[in-house]
Structure 1
C-alpha cells in the first residue's frame, strides 16, 4: 500500500512539473504599451533560462542625450498563470503571462487587461480600448 501511495505522489509531482515547463528558452523582446513619437519608451524583454527561471528587463534610451537606462530582474520560475514583474529604478510593478508567441498584461489573478494605452497608433483611430498584448520577438 505504501508503494502505491508513493507511486501516486510521484506521478502527481511529475505532472505538476510538466505543466509549469516554460514554452521556450531564450531571449524575446516585447512592447505591450505602445510608444508614440520617439518618446523614449522602454523596450522590454524576457529571458527564459534552461532551469526555468524567467528574467525580465528593459532598455530605455533618452532621446535628448542618448543615455541608456537598463534594468533586469529575476521573476522566479515560470508560472503559466501569472508572473509579477518589479522594476526598482522607475518603481514599476506589473503582472504578465506568456505563451510561446505572445505576452499579456494581466491583473494579479491572471486576467488579461484592456486599455487605451495598449492600442497602437493604427488601432487608436478605430478603437478606444485594446487588449494589452504583444508578440514575442526573437533577436
Structure 2
C-alpha cells in the first residue's frame, strides 16, 4: 500500500512539474502599454532562467535629461496561469501570463485585460479598448 501511495505521489509531482515548464529560456522584451510622443514609457523585459525562475525588469530613459532608470525583480517559478510583477521603484504591480510568442496583461485570476492604454496610436483611431498583449521580442 505504501508503494502504491508513493508511486501516485511521484506521478502527480512529475505531472505538475511538466505542466509548469516554461515555454522558453532566455531574454525577451515586450511593450504592452503604448507610449505616445516621447513620454518615456518603460521598456519591459522578462528573462526565464534554466531553473524555471522568471525575472522581470524595465529600462526607462528620461526624455528631458537622458537619465536611465532600471529595475529587475524575481517573480518566482514560471506559472502558466498568472504571475505577479511588482516593481519597488515606482510602486508598480501588475499581473501577466505568457506563452512562447506573446505576453498578456491579466487580472489576478489570469483573465486577459482590455484597456484604452493598450491601444497603439493607429488602433486608438478605430477602437476604444484593445487587448493588453504584446509580442515577445528576442534580442
Q: Which of the five TM-score ranges fits, normalised by the shorter chain? A: over 0.9
1:54 paired with 2:82, answer: no
Match of 1:39 in 2: 39
How far 1:2 moved relative to its partner? Answer: 1.7
How far 1:74 moved relative to its partner? Answer: 0.3
| Residues 53-100 of structure 1: CA deviation (Å, up to 9, x unaligned) | 000000000111110000000000000010000001111010000000
How far 1:105 moved relative to its partner? Answer: 0.4
Match of 2:27 in 1: 27
When normalised by structure 1's length, the TM-score is: 0.98
Distance 2:109 2:37 in 1: 33
Q: Which blocks of at least 5 consecutive residues in structure 2 are unaligned? A: none
1:87 paired with 2:87, answer: yes
Distance 1:41 1:2 in 2: 57
Match of 2:14 in 1: 14
Distance 2:90 2:7 in 1: 48
Equivalent pairs counted in the alignment come to 139
How far 1:47 moved relative to its partner? Answer: 0.3
Aligned alpha-carbon RMSD (Å): 0.6
Distance 1:4 1:91 in 2: 49
Match of 1:98 in 2: 98
SS at match of 1:70: strand
Distance 1:2 1:62 in 2: 62
When normalised by structure 2's length, the TM-score is: 0.98
Distance 2:8 2:86 in 1: 37
Distance 1:77 1:6 in 2: 25
Distance 1:56 1:5 in 2: 39
Q: Which blocks of at least 5 consecutive residues in structure 1 are unaligned? A: none
